[in-house]
Structure 1
Amino acid sequence: MIDRIIDARRRDLGDGFVVGRVLPAPFRRTVGPFIFFDHMGPATYAPGAGFDVRPHPHIGLSTVTWLFEGEIMHRDSLGFVQPITPGAVNWMTAGRGIVHSERSSDATRASGQTLHGIQAWIALPEGAEEVEPGFWHHPADMLPSITFDGAKRTLIAGSAFHATAPAATHSPLFYIDVDAEPGARVQLPDDHAERALYVAEGAIELDGIRYDAGKMLVLTPGAPVHFITPGRARVMLLGGAPIGERHIFWNLVSSRPERIEQAKRDWAEGRFAMVPGETDFIPLPEEPKAPEPMS
């Protein structure tokens, strides 16, 4: 049933904010169109503290931040200002280019908060990589919710279990949040070419083996798969049609390396539209240094 097991790798993004980097992994870069998958937190901010991810660009992908706890204030170059809260989908398609910032709101900065969730990037297919950028907010009551066998399944994006989420996707995919009670039995969709599950909280048992939080299981295509939960658990199910080779530099994704180079120049030379009302930004990072030759 299991093709690969990927452990979340600890990454400190600064200000004490630690994520578990899952995708891309050295031996598995994508699952369906999912090209980036970070488990954020839990990170606790005391009153008066917060986080600030300054304006930065994206191309060639859609982003979705799914929160279990806390709030993030989203602002982008199209003029959208939207608090991201648990249970709601905020779907940003970068296409030919968008800039956004992610910060603590004034209210959460004053009161303090615990921030916990998943940030995912979905690579756009070649025919849609240069679509017009856009942003869509879908509140929790618009999302399909399916509860049986001791688990609530919220369809974040795509299609599964004879339901379709409202977010406008560009290729076949599914993305589901499973909130499971002890003893739940959860079947994965079997109508998508590539599938994986990620244990965000608690643990699961699959084929008699226990897997704890922080592990992604990439599953064999086509095989019927279900897991059970010995205790309460939060599990993300994801996958879809293979997207093909993609190049990644920083926040830029494309099927063409020359498009990445163009976007790098555009950001360095100030040709992206900026977030209204914000003047700071994240500079283009330096290229990774080549390893020293061995003597």
Structure 2
Amino acid sequence: MSETLPPESVDLVIAPRTRDLGEGFMVRRILPFAKRRHVGPFVFFDHMGPVRFEKGQGLDVRPHPHIGLATVTYLFEGEIMHRDSLGVVQPIRPGDVNWMVAGRGIVHSERTRDALRAEGTALHGIQSWLALPRDREEAEPGFRHHPGRSLPEIEKPGLRMRLIAGKAFGAESPAETFAPMFYLDVEATAGATIAMPDEYEERAIYVATGAIELDGAAYEAGTMLVLKPGRRPKIATAGGARVMLLGGAPLDGERHLWWNFVSSSKDRIEQAKDDWKSGRFGPVPGETEFIPLPEG
């Protein structure tokens, strides 16, 4: 990242913090951040990998609960097997959108299939959470799978963009959203210029691989740049890069995050804690393991 002050168009530069999710599986956590809790509806943003699992190893995220949010796991490489308390069993593969609405409560697990575990496999992608509007926080839980071929692709010179969710550049994703937003996967060749959708108040760009220059300042992979409203920065690549463009309308009030729970109400978070501890969430069919409620 550039050592100079950020350009005038940038409100905040967020560097990643490394987190261990267990068994050496490391992620780069971007949101929430102390000085920026959310960008549009995005309240959580993790960059997973890239990691290579040796033979016999893999991802094993045991069943755990969520409330008050929608999750989207978007992969660049590898596969994750999703199972949830609705009975959904769905492999998550690169380029697909897997949109899980927790609402009043859902439980899911994320694992590597035995066949892939036996061979050894790679994993690389982004996991994000979006806070639901207050009037939808207690919605019925649901899960929708959108294959990559069903998502709009936007071609610009040197750019191939896939619209994961929301609306941008005249296109609309089939993923159900609950407030104005956009989320784009952008593959850029060397020398390409990247435009940001400018109709949203809150916007950010995350550098997943490679590097970019924004108004002349250089930023490397792992960096999120939160833009000031109304600015139109010049964003370009020296070499190839993969970036995520995201944002939307401001949230309709602050959100509380504790473990896997998101809510506008602290009391609702406490209820969710007690519900999980007391076994009142529905189980994931066929699974008996679970992640206990953290202490504290």
Q: TM-score, normalised on structure 2?
A: 0.96
Q: 1:44 aligns with which of 15, 34, 52?
A: 52
| Runs of 5+ unmatched residues, structure 1 | 288-295
Q: Deviations over 1:126-178 (max 9, x none)?
A: 01000000000000110000111201010000000011100101111100000
Q: Residue 196 of structure 2 is aligned with which of 177, 188, 193?
A: 188
Whole-Å separation in 2 of the counterparts to 1:51 and 1:139: 22
| Counterpart residue type for residue 289 of structure 2 | D
1:119 and 2:127 correspond: yes
| Structure 1 position 160 matched with structure 2 position 165 | no
1:247 — aligned with what? 256
1:19 to 16, 24, 27: 27
Query: 2:158 is matched by which residue type in structure 1?
Result: G
- Aligned pairs for 1:120-269 within 5 A: 120-243=128-251, 244-269=253-278
Indicate the percent of aligned positions where both proteins have the same amino acid. Answer: 65
User: For structure 2, which runs of at least 5 residues remain unmatched after alignment?
Assistant: 1-8
* SS of equivalent to 1:223: coil
In 2, Cα distance between the equivalents of 1:122 and 1:98? 15
Correspondence 1:53 to 2:46? no
Contact 1:149 1:186 in 2 (8 A): no
How far the C-alpha of 1:50 sits from its partner, in A, is: 1.1
Q: Alpha carbon RMSD of aligned pairs, Å? A: 0.6
Task: Give the secondary-structure state (helix, strand or coil) at the position aligned to 2:267.
Answer: helix
| Contact 1:72–1:103 under 8 Å retained in 2 | yes
Separation in structure 2 between the aligned mates of residue 14 and residue 43 of structure 1, nearest angstrom:
13
Q: CA deviation at 1:248?
A: 0.7
Alignment correspondent of 1:292: none
Query: What is the Cα deviation at residue 226 of structure 1?
Result: 3.5
Question: For residues 56-107 of structure 1, what are the alpha-carbon distances to aligned partners after superposition, in whole Å with 9 as ceiling and x for unaligned?
Answer: 0000000001100000000000000000000000000000000000000112
Which of 111, 114, 125 pairs up with 1:103? 111
Give the drift of 1:108: 1.2
User: Contact 1:203–1:211 at 8 Å: present in 2 too?
Assistant: yes
Q: Which runs of 4+ in 1 moved over 2 A?
A: none
Distance in 2 (CA, whole Å) between partners of 1:206 and 1:90 is: 31
Q: Are 1:281 and 2:290 an aligned pair?
A: yes
Q: Secondary structure at the match of 2:163?
A: strand
Aligned residues: 287
Check the 8 A contact 1:188/1:226 in 2, yes or no. Answer: no
> What's the secondary structure of 1:122's corresponding residue?
strand
> Matched residues in 2 for 1:276 and 1:182: separation?
47
CA contact (8 A) 1:73 1:82 kept: yes
How far apart in 2 are the matches of 1:283 and 1:146? 43
Q: d(CA) in 2 for partners of 1:14 and 1:99?
A: 19
User: Which residue does the alignment assign to 1:293?
Assistant: none
Letter in 2 for 1:246: R
Whole-angstrom CA distance in 2 between matches of 1:248 and 1:148: 38
Provide the rounded CA distance (Å) in 2 between the counterparts of 1:111 and 1:161: 41
In structure 2, the residue corresponding to 1:32 is in which secondary structure? coil
